[in-house]
Structures are given as C-alpha cells and as structure tokens.
Amino acid sequence: MSAIEITGVSKVYAGGVRAVSDVSLSIAEGEFIVLVGPSGCGKSTLLRMLAGLETITSGTVSIGSRVVNEIDPAARNIAMVFQNYALYPHMSVYDNLAYGLRNRGVPKADIDARVAEAARMLEIEPYLTRKPKQLSGGQRQRVAMGRAIVRKPDAFLFDEPLSNLDAKLRVSMRGEIRQLQRRLGVTSVYVTHDQLEAMTLADRIVVLNGGRIEQVGRPLDVYHNPASTFVASFIGSPAMNLAEAEVMGGSVAIGGQVVANGISGVKDGKLIVGLRAEDIQPAAPGTGVPFAVRYIEELGALRLVHGSVEGRHLTMALSPDLPLADEMKVAVAADRLHFFEDDSGRRMTR
C-alpha cells in the first residue's frame, strides 16, 4: 500500500499526438481513484504510464516515496487487471495466480497459501485446476482479480475491467470490487468510460477530457458542482440539460422565455445554464413555463420526459405517478441551477 504522486505528467507519442497534458494528481494511501472520460481522453495512457507500460514524456510519477519513471513494470510492485483479462490461456487457474509469485522467487508453501487465500476470497476454489477457456466471463474476471490480489501489490490498476461483462454481471462485480478494495485497503486506480462505475466505485473521481483533468472530486461533489459543461454532460444519467440562456436583472431566460427569477451573484449577459433532469418538475396550477412533450422513456422507478422549451431540448425526470399531457407547464428549482461561461464552458462562481 502506497500513495501515488503524479506531477506534471505529459505523454506525447512519436507521431506528435499529445495524449496526456500536464496532469498532476495526489492519490492517498488506500484511496480508490476512478479516471473517467470518453474514449481518447488519455485515461488509459495515464494508467499505462503508472504501470510502466508507456514511457513518460515529461513529469514524474512516484509510488510510495520512489520516483518510478525509469523503473520497469515488474519492479514497480503494482498489479494490473486488463479489459480482456489477459489470462495465460495455456496455464491452469492456479498457475495463472502463481505465475507472478514464482517469477519473484516466493517459496512454494507461501505460493500455495496465498493462492488458496485469494481463491477463497474470490470464490474460485473449485476452478483452480481448470484452464481459462473453461471458465465463464465472470469467473475469468475473478481470476484476473485474483492474479492481482496474490501479489499483495502497492497499488491495483484497473483498465476497464468490467466492460466485457454483461450488464447484470457488471453491476455485481462492481460491488465486489468495491468491497474487496475496502477490505484490502490497497491504493487503486480504475479506468472506465462508464460514469455510473465512476460514481459508484470512486472515493474520488478524476474526469479527463482531451488529455487534461477537467475536475477532481468526490462523486457527489462532481455531480452537484460540475466544473464545466463537459463534466456536467458526462457525469449523471440522464445527462444534465444544458441550454444557452440570458440573464437579465436576476431573471434567467431560455429562448426569450423566463424560466427562473431571483437569481443573485450572476452577471447579466449570455451564458449556458445547466439543469438536472430531477430539478425540473410540473408547475403549480396557473404558473410555469410551457413544455412541449416529444417522447417518454419509462425506467420503472422514474419516468424520463423529453420535450422542449422554446425549441430547446430538455429532459425531466418525473415520478411515474404524476399525470402527463402533451403540453405541460413546468417550473425549475432556481437554487439548483448551474451557470457556465458561454465561451469556455467553465463553471461561473456565484
């Protein structure tokens, strides 16, 4: 278990492509960090630099108190779980788990004990003599986890480990990974493009975009105070509604239609307003903004109503008990509005 310190790290590929730009991040001992972002945002490259599978163009990475820039993956004492599991197909599950220990000259009795312990923890004891081919996707995933656990590494690195599983299994494995990490207390860095995984697993989320950090924060902080329109649209499902708006004397207007009043601390002028779907609700009789319903998605516990206000597409999340109409009157929670700069998309301080 060790803290990880990333200082001003950049990665420029031979062709001149800049994958990661000046990323700095302090990861505390035992912390579960999730790197999240769309494909091509540099999250996997950053993880691979931590693992030592990619060279670091500039900046430093330290694991524990040691700068590891020039240290081989083998000597960094990290363990990695790959998206395709990368199990050794010609070895039994036992040998897969034992491989890293044997390479490090761990005595045979210790190997037996550690493999047995990991197998028990992951409930893969019955499969130790099988080949990876004879296992289901979920079992392979457990073996891959086991291979990381037996090593007792300073850090776990996860590279989209759940994306090859079906939806149901993904949810249960997600829970198991979280519990396991809590129990073992090993510093973990987890890469995913799934914001739901990020929200549910992370102690802190790191949102990456175009090789740069957009925001670092605890899941709920990121959800409630997105630092930019990018984070706002990436974190949370359904995505936050974003609309061009105008503020004039404390009133917010979308397409000329005033949707909220009594706003303080925001300069007059054009900006982008953000509204969570759950912050738009049907208005009290006789008040509200006209909302033209286009289509409805039933989620069971929730009902997503897609429609428009003055031609701007908005989504609201309603309780399924509420009555529906083609034309509805809605009200927005003025104190729950988010304001972003029109040009940069950065969050405006109020």
Partner 1 sequence: MQTKRTVFGNRLLPYAFLFPQLAVTVIFFLWPAGQAVIQSFQREDAFGLSTTWVGLANYADLLHDPTYLNSLKVTAIFAPAVTLLSVGLGLVFAVCLDRLVRGSRIYAALLVWPYAVAPAVAGIMWWFLFNPSIGLLPYLLAAVGYRWDHSLQPTDAMILVVIAASWKQVSYNFLFFMAGLQAIPKSMIEAAAIDGAGPVKRFFTIVFPLLSPTTFFLAVINLVYAMFDTFPVIHATTGGNPAQSTNILVYKVFVDGFIGLNLGSSAAQSVVLMAIVVTLTVIQFKWVERKVNY
In the complex, which residues of this chain contact partner 1 (CB under 8 A)?
A: 51-53, 72-74, 76, 78-80, 82-84, 86-90, 99-100, 103-104, 131-133, 147, 151
Backbone phi and psi for residue 30, each to the nearest 5 degrees, phi listed first: 80, 0
CB of 49 to partner 1, least distance (A): 13
b/e code 112-151 from CB counts within 10 Å (16+ = b): eebbeebbebbebeebbeebbeebeebbbbbbbbbbbbbb
CB of 293 to partner 1, least distance (A): 44
CB of 87 to partner 1, least distance (A): 8
| CB closer to partner 1 out of 50 and 227 | 50
| CB closer to partner 1 out of 73 and 210 | 73
| CB closer to partner 1 out of 144 and 316 | 144
Is there a contact between 236 and 230 (Cβ–Cβ < 8 Å)?
Answer: no
CB of 109 to partner 1, least distance (A): 19
DSSP states of 83-134 as a string? TT----TTS-HHHHHHHHHHHTT--HHHHHHHHHHHHHHHT-GGGTTS-GGG
- DSSP 8-class letter at 346: B
| CB closer to partner 1 out of 151 and 276 | 151
Strands across the sheet with 78-81, in order? 78-81, 155-159, 187-192, 32-36, 204-209, 212-217
Calpha distance 160→139 (Å, rounded):
16
CB of 39 to partner 1, least distance (A): 17
CB of 163 to partner 1, least distance (A): 13
| CB closer to partner 1 out of 89 and 256 | 89
CB of 249 to partner 1, least distance (A): 58
Which residues are bridge partners to 126 per DSSP?
A: none
Backbone phi and psi for residue 326, each to the nearest 5 degrees, phi listed first: -65, -40
| CB closer to partner 1 out of 79 and 243 | 79
| CB closer to partner 1 out of 91 and 302 | 91
